[in-house]
Amino acid sequence: MDDQELFALFRKNGYKATTQRLAIWKYIISRDDHPSTDQIYQAMKVDYPTISLGTIYKTLHLLKDLGLIQELGFNEGSVRYDPNTEFHINMICSKCGEIVDYESENTKKFWSTILSELEVKVNGHRFDVYYECDDCK
């Protein structure tokens, strides 16, 4: 999705299209490490020193609302953001919290098999696997 398409989608859904919102979206899709709210906030402050945490939260909420990102909440209270909304496995290090995506032909086959068995309209999905990453082992 390019900038114009994103702006059009914002407006169509009654959201203001601002450069800050665009920058937040671009930052999230540029990352494959599932950034936290604070990471996004710190990164945005480099180019937008006056940006507020409220703007970050509002933007994350609307991106989620538009189905462009997935919010991953965890028991200990942390929240991470995932721009990959296709079915995939989040490989989560139980020590350092690093998250990387795993996708393969088998995950696709698995998910399409489950979908055909469920016979419901699926509104969302999440598959987490915990392990110890190479740095923590």
Note the residues at the interface with Zn ion (CB under 5 A).
82, 84, 90, 93, 95-96, 98, 101, 133, 136
CB of 4 to Zn ion, least distance (A): 27
Of the pair 17, 68, the CB lying nearest Zn ion is at 68
Q: At what angle do helices 19-30 and 53-65 cross, to 10 degrees?
A: 70
CB of 95 to Zn ion, least distance (A): 5
CB of 31 to Zn ion, least distance (A): 11
Q: 83 with 103: CB under 8 angstroms?
A: no
**81 vs 31: CA distance, rounded Å:** 10
Of the pair 47, 103, the CB lying nearest Zn ion is at 103
Of the pair 15, 35, the CB lying nearest Zn ion is at 35
Q: 99 with 71: CB under 8 angstroms?
A: no
CB of 80 to Zn ion, least distance (A): 8
Phi, psi of 101 (to 5 degrees): -85, 145
Of the pair 68, 93, the CB lying nearest Zn ion is at 93
Closest to 9 measured CA to CA, from 69, 54, 55, 56: 69
